[in-house]
């Protein structure tokens, strides 16, 4: 898995002259001896200007600030302006400030028009994100339906070819799972479906192992997202011990047959080490289908029955959190 160096520095302010900054760094380095480690650290620095040369996420507040910023008098740091000094400098600065004030007053109508356009862009961006999320849900439904009908297709999810995307693409219960994992954890992800959850773990720089029980999903994940995924059958379910200290299953438990779930939890009770934290989520109703005719899921889970079942297997600290997207997140320890 690709790791990002903590020494990378990105400068995204267009007002910063990167060339002058690099010349200043080089001149200072020439004044004192430099070690090999310092040179290697400097070589990893990355100066990223504002678009179009470099990518930046649109920031409405910063854009409005730049528009209102207006003209600022020069600081006369350039040697070319060395002759402007004394009263002449004060007169020049006063003229620039007066012009900036006059320009701001004359441009009030232009400013109002700019904010109207900016507000419309923000609204359009929000609508665009909502449409993307709806499309992903419908497309996921289409893919699952075709696989259930044994039709071979090659899925192309929007998020699979992009590393950066809005966090709203995750459901509320999936966000809760991500918030319960830190980069310091040793993580095993079971049945990640088509791997969208894995993309968020990669974005958060969380190392993990991944096990898929669906051959088609495994091939998609290995090709598009994470090349170290493992493909196991329902006969194996789990890799050989020792298992990581945190085990997560982001897919809906109710999509699996009841006998698979019973076997999975019994295997977890046998193979996981004491202190292992387990995180799962389930919903007895499908939230992917827009139709009022909901499909019958393979398994129905009873809340009280699940807690009693886990306690009998030796798990403790069983806690269940109901989330606004219709899912329940269950956490417990070995």
**Domains in the chain: boundaries:** 63-151, 172-333
249, containing H or E segment: strand 246-252
A 10 A CB-CB count for 217 gives 21
Residue numbers in the chain where pLDDT is lower than 70: 1-19, 26-86, 88-89, 104-109, 141, 145-154, 158-169, 287-291
Q: Residues 15-48, buried b or exposed e (16+ Cβ, 10 A)?
A: eeeeeeeeeeeeeeeeeeeeeeeeeeeeeeeeee
Q: Using CB atoms within 10 A of its CB, is residue 107 exposed (0-12), middle (13-18) or buried (19+)?
A: middle
Predicted pLDDT at 99: 72
Handedness of CA 164, 118, 59, 17 (dihedral sign): positive
Residue-wise pLDDT for 24-74, tens only, equals: 776 666 666 666 666 666 555 554 444 443 445 556 666 666 666 666 666
Read off the tokens for 168: 């709203």
175, containing H or E segment: helix 172-179
Predicted pLDDT at 78: 58
Predicted pLDDT at 77: 58
pTM: predicted TM-score of the whole model, two decimal places: 0.58
Query: What is the Cα–Cα distance from 233 to 292, expressed in whole angstroms?
Result: 34
Query: What is the Cα–Cα distance from 203 to 195, expressed in whole angstroms?
Result: 13
Predicted pLDDT at 213: 92
Taking domain 172-333, whether its CATH number is 3.40.50.360 is answered by no
Helices (H), 227-288: 258-271
């Amino acid at each position: 898995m690709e790791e990002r160096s903590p020494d990378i520095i990105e400068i995204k302010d267009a007002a910063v002259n990167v060339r002058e900054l690099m010349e200043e760094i080089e001149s200072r380095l020439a004044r004192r001896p430099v070690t090999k480690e310092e040179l290697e650290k400097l070589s990893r620095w990355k100066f990223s200007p504002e678009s179009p040369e470099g990518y930046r996420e649109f920031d409405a507040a910063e854009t409005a600030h730049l528009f209102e910023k207006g003209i600022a008098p020069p600081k006369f740091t350039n040697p070319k302006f060395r002759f402007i000094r004394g009263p002449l400098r004060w007169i020049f600065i006063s003229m620039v400030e007066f012009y900036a004030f006059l320009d701001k007053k004359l441009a009030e109508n232009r400013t109002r028009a700019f904010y109207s356009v900016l507000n419309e862009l923000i609204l359009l961006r929000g609508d665009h994100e909502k449409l993307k999320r709806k499309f992903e849900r419908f497309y996921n439904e289409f893919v699952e339906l075709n696989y259930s009908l044994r039709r071979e297709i090659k899925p192309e999810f929007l998020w699979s070819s992009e590393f950066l995307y809005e966090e709203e693409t995750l459901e509320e219960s999936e966000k809760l799972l991500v918030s319960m994992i830190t980069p310091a954890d040793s993580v095993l992800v079971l049945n990640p479906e088509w791997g969208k959850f894995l993309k968020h773990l990669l974005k958060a720089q969380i190392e993990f192992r991944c096990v898929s029980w669906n051959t088609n999903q495994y091939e998609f994940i290995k090709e598009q997202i994470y090349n170290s995924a493992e493909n196991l059958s329902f006969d194996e379910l789990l890799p050989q011990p020792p298992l990581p200290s945190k085990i997560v299953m982001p897919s809906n438990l109710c999509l699996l047959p009841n006998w698979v779930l019973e076997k999975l939890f019994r295997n977890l009770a046998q193979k996981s080490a004491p202190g292992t934290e387990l995180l799962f989520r389930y919903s007895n109703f499908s939230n992917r289908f827009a139709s009022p005719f909901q499909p019958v899921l393979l398994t129905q889970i009873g809340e009280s029955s699940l807690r009693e079942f886990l306690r009998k297997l030796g798990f403790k600290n069983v806690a269940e959190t109901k989330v606004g997207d219709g899912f329940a997140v269950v956490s417990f320890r070995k």
